[in-house]
Structure 1
Amino acid sequence: MPRIEGFEAYRMTMPHGRRPESILVRVCDQDGAIGWGEVAGSDACWADIEGRVGPALLGLDWELPEEVVGVGGLGDHAAASAIDIACWDLWSRRQGTPLSHALGGTRTSIVAGARLDVEPMLDVLLTRVNRLVSAGYARVTVAVRPGWDIEPVRAVRQAFPALALQADAGEAYTEEPAHLDALEALDAYGLIAIERPFAGGELDAHARLQRVVDTAVCLDPADLDTVDTAIAMGAGRMLGLRIARLGGLTAARGAHDRALASGWDTWCGGAAGFGIGQAAAVALAGLPGCDVPSDVSETPAQTAVVSPPVRASGGVVAVPLTQPGLGHDVDERLVARLSRQTLRIPA
């Protein structure tokens, strides 16, 4: 049974004076096995890890990684997510199995998607989409907002008629008539999903939209209760699984399992970071229900602390299966060099 004997957290800074972007955590058990996790950094998350989560973990006994968040009382999603990833990494290393297999993954590679922020110039948008398509990305998600939705989607669809295209509305719409008219009009462009059209808690609005469009409405759930309610209400047909938003791999796998059992599609999102978060996203995307290309952003070479770095080749990312855990070595010297703050328990 693992017992956490050492805990470290690193507040990471991108080069060139940019603000901290990620918090990395490292857990060590009584036998010297280690595990790494990552979450997007914030002052609140760092304070929670320093004042509550780190001390609560020290000496914690657990048998399965699914138990850690509950046993340790780690309610905060951001801090819990980093710890949950690290404990899954540690546990799968102890078991001598790749993390993807430990989660139930069956794939040797995943098809990669990419997303673009709002781009108000159509020629620039089409150029950026063309670069992604030329690089082999099988799905492209374009951001839309009220007043800038039908025009960019129409332009991309006309230029790339066979592209798997998704529109991310960023929770920017309401049920006012003009907004609903625009969302319903998007149904004519063969999208694989309209993502996050309304605020996350407005499941009734999502359900009403799903009843009038053929395109799948894609939700970005923050907890499993929301997943269960959304499925029961028919508030969509697709889930985007963002590990940090759900609170870790345990919850993300639970959301995946519920979606798979209900016939909903899923994909996994890996936010930009230092490589550990992306590696966890690749492991999750290896699950059998993640049939939609997953977003796995690439880490700049100078900040990738994992080796080999997480990279797409021809729009495909290999699931590392030759070594246990995340399947990547962590450059601890680079972690120390890029760290702005370090926490060690015990010191």
Structure 2
Amino acid sequence: MSSVADRAVVQDRLDITLALASALFTVTAVVQLTADPAPAVWIPSVVALVTAAVFAIGCVLVRGRHGQFLLRRPMLWSAGVAALVGINPFAYMLATGITYPAIGALLTIVAIAALFPAWRVAAAIILGVNVCWLVTAVAIPPEPGLPTLLVQMAKADALAAMIMLTWERTRSRVAGANELVRQLAVVDDLTGLPNRRGLLERATELVDDARRTGAPVAVGFVDIDGLKSVNDHAGHAAGDDMIRRAAQCLATTTVSSGLFVARLAGDEFVVIGVGDPVLRWSDHLVAVRGALARQGISASIGSAIGDAREIDSVDRLLSEADWAMMADKRSRRSVSGPERDDGPQASPS
């Protein structure tokens, strides 16, 4: 389970399990001490009380200021909870000499399957419970006989398998739904490129990586010329087609160069390079302008290059690239005249 959503589910279940388990083992210990006639029943009762105390302390810590420290490894803590639960039925068997009916072991198998989202780890722990139960049954033969115990064990394992398969199927569907929602949130539906949210998420990751490695970061700001004129004279469908063709050009030109491209908004696109691609940054921008020109699309392009260790976020480079793009637009207008933006034109330079 690697996603943030999956880890959050584990953390929630661990929190709930600690609270409920503490109450359950407290009641179990009290009932055993006061109503169970089995010999040496005080031993498993003490184990149950210790378990309840550990779970109560864990619940307090998880809910307190130390919670984030403890929950950095939720799977480890969940495995610890499952192991501590599994110890109790065997403490009862070994202390009382009663192997069957081992209700505690049966409930442990089912509980682990129900409360532990990582099915592979849950299956490994359940296998361990089975082995320990068999070893105990061999050392302390059950009165109904080993075959009867094996039947009960098989029933518990079958129920656990059903629960784990159901849980895994549900978890997979939830993960798929979460991924679909995430994609809808970060992908531009017109071009298929990352949208503004996707740009900022990925840009932040790239800058953080560059900051750790000391790699340079470059940002290119691409503004398509003449979109308003196309919308006014040929309709918004033609304008959308122009945006799609521009996006395809950018994606095709940058995909083999290790660059990241996104649609910021409207007719604005952003290209980001980290590390080696920055060394040939001017060549990449020339290639982008040329690819657009071959589609009859003119664009104003600006860029900014910086050391990730000297900037707080990608916003600074985006702002600098935006200003550079505006300067490029003004420069090209002064050369070609105001009519430059009256419609899309090729500009290979």
TM interval, short-chain normalised = under 0.3
Q: Looking at secondary structure, tell me which structure has more helix per residue.
A: 2
TM (norm. structure 1) is 0.21
Q: TM-score, normalised by structure 2?
A: 0.21
Q: Larger RCO: Structure 1 or Structure 2 (Cα < 8 Å, ≥ 6 residues apart)?
A: 1
Return the index of the structure with the highest Cα Rg.
2
